[in-house]
């Protein structure tokens, strides 16, 4: 007889008008049926089913009766296409990016001050939305971190992006950040970057983090040095020159 556990999530908000529920099963047949109905599924792995085919299911546990509520919520959100909340600061919420954020990104990137030192978005919004969909699937799901969306809590407005990425040819993760022009010079970038660095040390186990900043971007260089980065060298990437900075966790 197969194992099946139904876990209602204690969320105040409902998902599409329904109570959020995560199903835990040790049966590939049952798991397939549930997924076919659009349900969120967590696999229970044990000695009796390790040889069975659970390909396509991202999350599995060995002790389904003692699940961490935060983990349960993250598994549900990932399978339902809902963004993970990463952290909060006094004024901001940092969460995973969604395709719906793209409209706000184009407004932020329309300022010449932004694109002077940052790579531009795709020419078409649908291209950028597809990139975000693939990013969620291939980066968030695999690494469980990436570049996230920054939201001002008071207004609910998307005001920028910040997070970690791996750059080809480098071992250490890279901190990246961008705050829209209307919210600059108000301390948002420092507030968010300090919190993200702390998250990297405490939750992701990072030992060193780098930042690559273009010469002339004095505001970003000053911020990086203020939060503990040290200038190391000049490098060229993609035809652009950067100052590479490093910082280490305490």
Domain residue spans of the chain = 4-80, 85-248
**Is pLDDT above 70 for 130?**
yes
Closest CA to 189 of 241, 224, 234: 224
Q: What is the pLDDT of residues 112-121, one digit of tens each?
A: 999 999 889 9
Quote the CA–CA distance of 26 and 48 in Å, as a whole number.
9
The DSSP output letter for 63 is -
R_g of the chain computed on alpha carbons: 21
Give CATH for domain 85-248.
Answer: 3.40.630.30
Beta bridge partners of 210: 174, 246
Q: Name every residue whose Cβ is closer than 8 Å to that of residue 196 and which is 6 or more positions away in sequence.
A: 86, 87, 94, 162, 163, 164, 175, 177
Q: Which residue has the tokens 């071992």?
A: 171
Structure-model confidence comparison of residues 12 and 151, the more confident one: 151
Look at phi and psi of residue 170 and say left if phi exceeds 0, alpha if psi is from -120 to 50, else beta.
beta
Report pLDDT for 56.
Answer: 86
Tell me the pLDDT tens digit for each residue of 49-91. Answer: 989 999 889 899 999 999 999 899 999 999 998 999 999 999 9
Alpha helices, H only, 19-84: 28-36, 69-80
3-class secondary-structure state, position 7: strand
Between CA 59 and CA 67, with CA 64 as vertex, the angle to 5 degrees is 80
Distance, CA of 227 to CA of 249 (rounded, Å): 11
């Amino acid at each position: 007889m197969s194992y099946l556990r139904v876990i209602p999530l204690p969320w105040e908000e409902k998902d599409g008008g329904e109570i959020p529920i995560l199903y835990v099963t040790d049966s590939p047949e049952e798991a397939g049926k549930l997924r076919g109905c659009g349900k969120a599924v967590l696999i229970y792995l044990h000695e009796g089913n390790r040889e069975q085919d659970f390909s396509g299911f991202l999350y599995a546990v060995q002790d389904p009766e003692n699940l961490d509520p935060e983990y349960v919520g993250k598994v549900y959100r990932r399978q339902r296409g809902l963004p993970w909340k990463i952290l909060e600061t006094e004024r901001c919420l940092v969460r995973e990016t969604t395709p719906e954020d793209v409209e706000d990104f184009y407004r932020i990137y329309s300022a010449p001050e932004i694109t002077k030192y940052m790579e531009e978005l795709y020419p078409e919004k649908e291209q950028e939305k597809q990139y975000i969909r693939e990013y969620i699937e291939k980066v968030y799901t695999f690494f469980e971190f990436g570049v996230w969306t920054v939201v001002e809590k008071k207004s609910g407005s998307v005001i920028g992006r910040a997070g970690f990425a791996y750059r080809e040819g480098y071992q250490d993760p890279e901190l990246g950040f961008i705050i829209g022009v209307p919210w600059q010079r108000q301390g948002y970038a420092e507030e968010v970057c300090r919190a993200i660095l702390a998250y990297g040390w405490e939750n992701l186990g990072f030992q060193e983090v780098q930042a690559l900043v273009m010469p002339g971007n004095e505001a970003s260089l000053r911020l990086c040095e203020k939060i503990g980065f040290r200038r190391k060298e000049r490098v060229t990437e993609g035809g652009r020159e950067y100052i590479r900075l490093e910082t280490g966790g305490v």
